Amino acid sequence: MKKKIIILGSTGSIGSSSLDVIKKNKRDFNIICLSTNKNYKKIFKQSFIYKVKNIIINNEKTYHKILKTNKPKGVKIFNNLDLFLNSFKKKVDYTILGISGFAGLEPTLKIIPFTKNLCSANKESIICGWKLIKKKLNQYNTNFIPLDSEHFSIWSLISKKNINSISSIYLTASGGPFLNIKRNKLKKVKVKDVIKHPNWNMGKKISTDSATMMNKIFELIEAAKIFNLSLKKFNIIIHPKSYIHAIVNYKSGLSYLVTHDTNMEIPISNSLYMHSKNKLTNKSNINFDNLNGINFIKPSSDQYPYLNLLKNIKLSESYFEIILVAINDFLVRKFLENKISYLNMQKYLLKLININFFKKFYKLKPNNINDINSMIDIVNNYLNNINYKK
């Protein structure tokens, strides 16, 4: 019997990779619904190729625009997830959440009651709302599978192990495009230089976060929350080839690691088949060239100043992580719009995260999604009133 699947954010990178996996294994899946914000041309094409009868277009303006155009025949178009779920009765087998940014938290919480397995690559929702997500996962007996290559690697290594037997975990980082360039040479780097990731084909935002190492800091916070482990057990190590994604050390003296090519189809396909007796149709052999001369490097806070933030992260429930993510999102947007330089973007973040206006919130904690959204608004309103030097 085909597995029923929903893909939220189907026109993005994760969604597109997920559809590529399904395309190679069509006999195993029936796509119930796809969603996008406003990329209606791409989602119409996807619905035709994969014979999807339900699509969601969240952007209000785009939704009303397509109602006046030639929409696909036999396809129901919804303006939001709620309208689609109103007619939903049974749980689907899998939901893949490929929505990026804070926008992913609300649909994450809403879809949990309607899916047996939630596969998510949305960092922001996990960092800022994991307590809410975990509560709902338990309430509706929904399995959670992390899709990020590092987190899926850890999950696959420790899912059947005693978590108390773990001594330490390493998340690998590529080091970004400036690994071998001194910081004093980065004063005039352009957006095109920053987003040129050496190994992965990623969006501009996440590529910028990779260059600054913020992405890896977020992944550490995310991993500690998902696996319910102390942040002290996690370390970052630079692995320029990005072939090894995680290393787990056990108190027994044994260490395990996961390797695979820089292709998101691999963690996605393994997530979808994790609980299945069916066999994957895609095969790959180990790349010995990538293993020869692995060249692990300990990252320096002089080269990556954001690493200093790890000293402030306590993982106790507070607004700190929400404020950190919101400030970073705001400043990265400024950088990508060429309104602030690469180095000044980092200087502003390290300064802003320590100002008294935000510090007063670090002893408080959000109780629901409205609290989280309100804090994001507070951060953005404050940041909008600052004059930034490029």
Summarised one tens digit per residue, pLDDT across range 101-147 is 889 999 999 999 999 999 998 999 999 999 999 999 999 999 999 99
Task: Give the whole-angstrom CA distance, residue 305 versus residue 350.
Answer: 8
For residue 90, the model assigns a pLDDT of: 86
The CATH architecture assigned to 3-147+264-284 reads: 3-Layer(aba) Sandwich (3.40)
Q: Please give the single-letter amino acid code of residue 268.
A: I
For residue 318, the model assigns a pLDDT of: 85
For residue 315, the model assigns a pLDDT of: 64
Summarised one tens digit per residue, pLDDT across range 172-186 is 999 999 998 999 899
Q: Please give the single-letter amino acid code of residue 85.
A: L
Residues 35/81, Cβ–Cβ less than 8 Å: yes
Residues 117/142, Cβ–Cβ less than 8 Å: yes
Q: Sketch the domain layout of the chain as residue ranges.
A: 3-147+264-284, 149-261+286-315, 316-390
Strand runs (DSSP E) across the chain, as ranges?
Answer: 3-8, 29-36, 54-57, 76-78, 92-97, 115-120, 143-146, 166-173, 234-238, 244-250, 255-259
For residue 280, the model assigns a pLDDT of: 58
Three-class secondary structure of residue 368 per DSSP: coil
Q: What is the mean pLDDT of each run of 10 residues along the chain (390 residues)?
A: 94 92 91 95 94 95 85 89 89 94 93 96 92 96 93 87 89 92 91 85 86 94 92 93 92 91 88 71 70 88 94 80 95 95 96 95 93 96 90
Total-model pTM:
0.91
Q: What are phi and psi of 5, to 5 degrees?
A: -140, 145
Task: Give the whole-angstrom CA distance, residue 316 versus residue 212.
Answer: 25
Three-class secondary structure of residue 364 per DSSP: coil
Edge to edge, the sheet with strand 76-78 lists 76-78, 54-57, 29-36, 3-8, 92-97, 115-120, 143-146
Q: Give counts: helices (H), strands (E), the chain.
A: 16, 11
Cβ-based neighbours of 319, under 8 Å, separated by 6 or more: 361, 362, 364, 365, 366, 375
For residue 198, the model assigns a pLDDT of: 77
